[in-house]
Amino acid sequence: MASFPARASFFAGAIALALFQSASAHALDNTPAAKVVVTPLASTTVTANGQPIVLPQKNVQVLVSSFEIPPGASLPVHMHPSARYAYVLEGQLQVTNAETGKSTSYKTGDFIVEMLGTWHQGANVGAEPVKLLVIDQVEEGTANTLLKK
């Protein structure tokens, strides 16, 4: 009869486990659902210099990139023929319109709708790297950055 206590212990353990799982499942069922929080970051119909946003008319391709610009570094003067958006993940970026000389500063958390067909330049004006999430909407197979010669 040595197996009886082992069986009793096994069944007692199984019952305890079942009760625990049942109580845990019940507790999870009564837990209020976590709320999803949506925070609008931007809403606009124009670019950084006031132009209407224009999208490619056929075969649209979405390109997503990350940029890291070291402190003190500048991008070359360039333009974008198609829509480009940037979200500043970290740092301080200054964008200067090369045609007018007007500069705009962006910081962590800012959303940029870049200028279309306008020569401009970005520079890291802070002490930490600028990190950007960049999204382009281009006609499939085309580049969205043209460098000034």
Structural domains of the chain sorted by starting position, each given as residue range(s) with its CATH number in brackets: 60-147 (2.60.120.10)
Spans of the chain below 70 pLDDT = 1-31
Given the structure tokens 């082992």, which residue do they identify?
Answer: 6
Element (H, E) at 143: none
pLDDT for 74 equals: 98
pLDDT for 10 equals: 38
pLDDT for 29 equals: 58
The 10 Å Cβ neighbour count of residue 48 is 19
Closest to 63 measured CA to CA, from 43, 41, 47, 86: 86
The 10 Å Cβ neighbour count of residue 126 is 18
pLDDT for 32 equals: 75
Q: Residues 106, 111, 117, 119: what is their CA dihedral angle, to the nearest 10 degrees? A: 10
Q: Residues 108, 113, 117, 123: what is their CA dihedral angle, to the nearest 10 degrees? A: 0
